[in-house]
Chain A
Amino acid sequence: MSIDVNVFLFSLMIYTIIMNIGISLYAIFQRPNIIKKIIALTILGDSANVLAIIVGYRAWPSPNRAPIPPVLTNLHPTGEDIQMFTQVAVDPLPQALVLTAVVIGLAVTVFLVFLALQLYRLYGTLDVRKITKLRG
């Protein structure tokens, strides 16, 4: 049983991101401060995005060159160039979906920050244990 160092490091990266998601979920559930919950939520979203991008990665060598970004550098490509491009470029679909997810995550974060700000202005606290006891 032999372990390739590159494969081991790639697997380690994936499991590190999954652990990161777990830790941020812990912070969302366990921390009483709303600002810390929002920070943990952004960490959760970014970790999930990185994981989604890694899904589209392809192994090196494939077949004999390192993977390249999904951008064709030749504006007047021949059929051969395009064949070569499809052989070495990484998957563009997860990147496009992550671009969408980043924007939506950002919009949600902006709205949550404004909610927290207004909550603090009106009630003077960001501790969920005190907020749940508020009446009226």
Chain B
Amino acid sequence: MKGWMRAVSLLSIIAVTVALALGTASGGLGYVLPFPGVRDLAYWFLFTALNPSTPLFTVMSPEAVTSIVWDYRGLDTLFETTVFFLAIIGSMALMRGIEVVKKVEERTYQIGMSPIVKTVTRISVAAILAVAASIALHGHLTPGGGFQGGAAAAVAPLLLIVVFSVYFAVGSHINKKNMLTIRTIGLLGVGLTAFAVLIIGVIHGVGAYVFQNQPKATAPIGLPADLFGSLTSGTLILFNFFEFLAVAAGFTIVFLLLSVPERRVMEILEGGEKDEH
């Protein structure tokens, strides 16, 4: 009876979906999807993303998405980074006092998976970090950017934790304190880059804006679009690099907190943190 009901409800959902699609495809709404063009705003973004003939409007980045994320709507992304920062701070506040203590025994380096897995991991961790850096630093040229690169780079410490054990990771300086330092450097860098052109403008005595990248009509100053002949798109490469640091370190903190042995957590929760102080 139960399985019969479930089959009927599943079939009815599929039938309704196909019927709605048939209705739309036959012009039931007065138009058919998808629309042939894009909106005027999208034309403008695509037209000005990399257009040396309009120097007052262009971002000098061939990647229209990164142009929007870090230039046209840079303030959005700054607050998005803030939300991410606050979520991880909230997680750390929930897990306060809970941390893996570094083991000094020799056995620390013998636990974990088999030597085959460990050797493969040593090679692939280097490759993962290289790919992540490539994703992040080419964010203004190809699909990708600071966040995607950071998320890819955080796989490396996760692999270390799973394959070598969390004690090995803490022993190789991948601990909460160091990651917080890297994360703070990244966030400070994002903040400073947002103010970079304004600071340069104040020094030179010309008008400039927060989150400015290329020269504008009333603020004829900006960061150089290319460096030694290769395109860097002004502030975009700096934003991507610092966001890469912040996101990679933030995810590493999450993985470290989630991999604390459960017995140790219960000891701290029940023992009133006596052994901590």
Contacts and interface: CB of A to CB of B under 8 A. Distances in A.
A19 B38 contact: no
B41 A93 contact: yes
Contacts of B13: 19, 23
A95 interface: yes
Interface stretch (A39-47, A77-85, A126-134): A77-85
Task: Give the interface residue-count category, chain A.
Answer: 35 or more
B69 interface: yes
The listed residue with most A CB atoms (<10 A of its CB), out of B36, B47, B49, B265, is: B49
Interface stretch (B58-66, B101-109, B167-175, B176-184): B58-66
Contacts of B26: 1, 3
Interface of B is mostly: helix
Contact of A4 (B25, B46, B52, B88): B25
Contacts of B45: 70, 92-93
Contact of A99 (B20, B41, B147, B265): B147
Interface string B15-31: 01110111011110000
Interface stretch (B77-85, B156-164, B190-198): B77-85
B143 A71 contact: yes
A128 B225 CA distance: 55
Contacts of B257: 114
Interface of A is mostly: helix
The listed residue with most B CB atoms (<10 A of its CB), out of A12, A19, A96, is: A96
Interface stretch (B90-98, B127-135, B212-220): B90-98
A71 B142 contact: yes
A123 B36 CA distance: 56
B185 interface: no
Contact of B87 (A62, A93, A110): A110
Interface of A: 1, 3-4, 7-8, 10-12, 14-16, 19, 23, 54, 56-59, 62, 69-75, 77, 79, 82, 85-86, 89-93, 95-96, 99-100, 103-104, 106-108, 110-111, 113-115, 117-118, 121-122
27 contacts: A3-B26, A7-B32, A7-B33, A8-B22, A8-B25, A11-B20, A11-B21, A16-B17, A56-B38, A62-B36, A70-B45, A70-B63, A70-B64, A71-B64, A72-B63, A77-B51, A92-B46, A93-B39, A93-B42, A93-B68, A99-B65, A99-B145, A99-B147, A110-B87, A114-B257, A118-B94, A121-B266
